[in-house]
Structure 1
Amino acid sequence: MPFITTSDGVEIFYQDFGSGRPVLFSHGWPLSSEAWERELKLFADHGYRVIAHDRRGHGRSSRSRTGNDMDTYAADLAALVDALDLRDLSLVGHSTGGGEVVRYAARHGAGRVSKVVTVGAVPPYMIVTEENPDGTPLEALDGIRAGVLADRSQFYQDLTTPFFGADREGSTISQGQRDDFWRQGMLVGLQSAYDCVKAFSETDFTEDLRALDVPVLIAHGDDDQIVPIKAAAYRSIDIVRLGTLKVYPGAPHGIVGAYQEQLDKDILEFLAE
C-alpha cells in the first residue's frame, strides 16, 4: 500500500488512481479516504488522476499523539502533494477536509493549486461568537469530545442520525451507509479523534479564504445539522475573491443519495470550466 512519511515520522496512507489532471480529495471527521470511494471511481472514469489520503490518526495512517491540528494537517498534505509532484491540482474537501484544503491552498499551494471545492466545510470559523451568532456553541463541541471519550462506538452510531439527516422526513439513508460511517470512525485513534474536534471547530480560516486566488466552489446542504450553512458557506462566499456558491435544498451534512449524485455532477462541471 502507498504511504509517504512526514518530517515527524508519521506515515500517511493514500490512494492514487487514473491519469490526467490531478484531483485530490480530503475527508471529513471521523472518516478516511474511503469516504470518497464513489468519487475516486467516477472522477477517474472521467479522465482525472484521483488521490485521497487518510489524515494522520485516521484510517490506515499512523496514529499520533502530536500534530492533530490544522497547521500540521495542511503540512502533511503539502508533503503528499510534493512527494507526488502534483501540479494544476484541484482540491476537494468535505467538512474538516474543507478546512484542510483551504489552509493548504493558502499556505502551501502557490504554483500547484488551480481550483478548490469545499463541501459542507467548516470555514471560516465554526464556534459561535458575537460576530458569528449562527455558529456552534462550544458546549456542543465539548459534548462531542465527551462522547468520543466515554463510548466512541455508540457515539459514532448515534452521530449518523444528524450527520445523514436520518431524523428528517423522507430520509433514504441506509443502515449500510450508517454502518460504514461507524466502521471508518472506529479506525481513528482516540487521541486523534479527540484532538481533531478542536482542530476543525476552533481554527479560524478567514485569512486563508482571503488569500485564495483561484476559483473556489463552495457547496453546502441547507439542512446541514453538523456545520450550519449560515455560519459556514454563507460567510465564506463573502470572503473569497473568485467564489461560486451552490446550495442543495434539504441536503444533510453527509454526502449521500441524490445529493451526492448532483454534487458529483456539479464538481465535474466546475473542474471542466
Structure 2
Amino acid sequence: MAEQWQASKFELGEDGVALWTMTEPEIMNPLTPELHNDFDTLVDRVEGNEDIRALIIAGEGRAFSAGGNVKGMATREFNAHGMRNKLISAHQWVERLYNLDCPVIAAVDGLAFGGGFSFCLLADFVLASPKARFCSVFGRIGLIPDLGVLYTLPRIVGMSTAKELMYTARSIDAEEAKEMGIVHAIHSSEALMDEARTFAQRLAKGSKPAMALTKRVVNGAYEMSYRDLVDAEANGQALMFTTDFHKEAVRRFMAKEPRLYDWDQMK
C-alpha cells in the first residue's frame, strides 16, 4: 500500500539521506491528528530500512512546529481518561523515533514551541538558524510538558536548567540553546538545509549497525547500572565484529588503503 502523507512530505535521495518535512506553514505546523498519523507513517517507513542511512526532519515556513493547537483546545471537549490514552498512544512513535536505527537531524529555522520543542529533541542533533526559538511553552496555559521532553531535556541541559525552562515557559534563541547543549550548530537560514544534508551525508558513510547500537545504549545509559552497560558493551561489540563494515575497514587498514570512514578527511 502506498504511503499517505497528510500534513508532511517525504523524500529519499540516492545518498541514503531521507528528508521529512512538515507542510502546514500557514498554521505553523501544529501537532494535529493528521501530523500524528504522519509520525506513525514516518517511523514505519524509516525503521529497519537499509536504504535509509540518515534522516533529516524539518518544517516549512516560519516554524519548525509551534506545538499543539491551542485554538482547538478551546472548542474540543476533553476528559482525563481519553487524554491519558491519547498521550500514551503517541509515545508508541515517540519512543521509536528517539531510538530510530539511523542518525536523525532536526533542522530548525523558526519556532520550536511546546510539542514542537519536544519533537526536535527526539533527534540526535539539532541544527538551527538564527531565526530559531525554543520554548517549553506548556506552562503558559497550565499544562505539563509532554511528548518525551520530561525525559530528554534534563538529560541534555541538566535537572536545574530543565526545571527553569519548564517552570518559566520562557523562550530561548539559538545562541542560548547552543550554550545549553540543545543546539549542535547554528547556520544561516539560507545554508541550514545544505548544512544539514552535508552533515547527514557524512554520517551516512559510517557503520549504520554500529551507530544504531551506540545510540540505543547511550539513550538508555542513565537508567543502566555499570554492570548493565558492561553487558551491553560486550554484547554489542561481539556483534559488530561480525559486520561487513568492520571487516572491510580492517582490510583497508591492513592494505594501507584509504579509510572506509574518516570524518577528518571528508569534504
Check whether TM > 0.5: no
Determine which structure has greater relative contact order: mean sequence separation of CA pairs < 8 Å that are 6+ residues apart, divided by chain length: 1
Q: Normalising by the residue count of structure 2, what TM-score does the alignment of the two structures yield?
A: 0.32
Q: Which structure is larger by alpha-carbon Rg, 1 or 2?
A: 2
